[in-house]
Amino acid sequence: MDPRTDDDVLDAVGPRLRALRRDRGITLAGLSATTGVSESTLSRLESGQRRPTLELLLPLARVYDVPLDDLVGAPRTGDPRIHLKPIRRHGMTFVPLSRRPGGVHAFKMVIPARPEPLEPAPRTHEGFEWLHVLSGRLRLVLGERDLTLPPGEAAEFDTSLPHWLGSADGGAVELLVLFGPQGLRAHVRAGPDRSSPAGPRR
Which DSSP symbol is given to 198? S
Q: For the residues 107-132, what does the mean pLDDT come to?
A: 87
How far apart, in whole angstroms, are the C-alpha atoms of residue 31 and residue 20? 11
How far apart, in whole angstroms, are the C-alpha atoms of residue 148 and residue 41? 32
pTM strictly above 0.75:
no
Q: Rounded to a whole number, what is the distance in angstroms from the first to the last CA of the chain? A: 41
Q: For the residues 139-143, what does the mean pLDDT come to?
A: 93
* Residue 193 in this model has a pLDDT that exceeds 60: no
Give the pLDDT band (50/70/90) at residue 61. Answer: confident
Instruction: Please give the share of the chain, as a percent, with pLDDT higher than 70.
Output: 76
Instruction: Please give the share of the chain, as a percent, with pLDDT higher than 90.
Output: 28
Per-residue pLDDT reduced to its tens digit, 145-192: 999 999 999 999 988 899 999 999 988 999 999 887 754 554 444 444
Q: For the residues 84-109, what does the mean pLDDT come to?
A: 76
Q: For the residues 88-100, what does the mean pLDDT come to?
A: 78
Q: Which residue has the higher pLDDT, 23 or 100?
A: 23
- Count CB neighbours of 26 within 10 A: 15
Using the CB atoms, write b or e for 104-142: b if 16+ within 10 Å.
bbbbbbbbeeeeeeeeeeeeeeebbbbbbbbebbbbbbb
- Count CB neighbours of 94 within 10 A: 17
How far apart, in whole angstroms, are the C-alpha atoms of residue 150 and residue 167? 10
Give me the DSSP letters along 120-157.
P--B--SSEEEEEEEES-EEEEETTEEEEE-TT-EEEE
* Residue 81 in this model has a pLDDT that exceeds 80: no
| Alpha-helical regions (H) of 24-77 | 28-35, 39-47, 54-64, 68-72
* Cβ-Cβ contacts under 8 Å for 67 (sequence gap 6 or more): 61
How far apart, in whole angstroms, are the C-alpha atoms of residue 34 and residue 97? 27
Per-residue pLDDT reduced to its tens digit, 7-57: 666 778 888 888 888 888 889 999 999 889 999 999 999 998 888 887 888
What per-residue confidence (pLDDT) applies to 19?
86
Give the pLDDT band (50/70/90) at residue 80. Answer: very low
Give the pLDDT band (50/70/90) at residue 199. Answer: low
Query: Which helix (H) or strand (E) covers residue 92, if one does?
Result: strand 92-96
Q: Are 151 and 136 in contact (CB under 8 A)?
A: yes
How far apart, in whole angstroms, are the C-alpha atoms of residue 98 and residue 110? 16
Query: How high is the mean pLDDT of the chain?
Result: 79
